[in-house]
Amino acid sequence: MTSTSSPAKNVESPCISVCELNAQNVCIGCWRTLDEISRWWDMSNDEKREVLQKADARSAG
Residue 32 lies in a domain: yes
pLDDT digits (tens, 9 = 90+) for 23-47: 999 999 999 999 999 999 999 999 9
Q: How confident is the model at residue 3 (pLDDT cuts 50, 70, 90)?
A: very low
**DSSP-based helix, strand, coil % in the chain, nearest 5:** 40, 5, 50
Cα–Cα distance list, 1 to 4, 8 (Å): 10, 20
Which residues constitute the domain of residue 28?
21-60
State residue 21's pLDDT score. Answer: 95
Residue 51 lies in a domain: yes
Residue 37 lies in a domain: yes
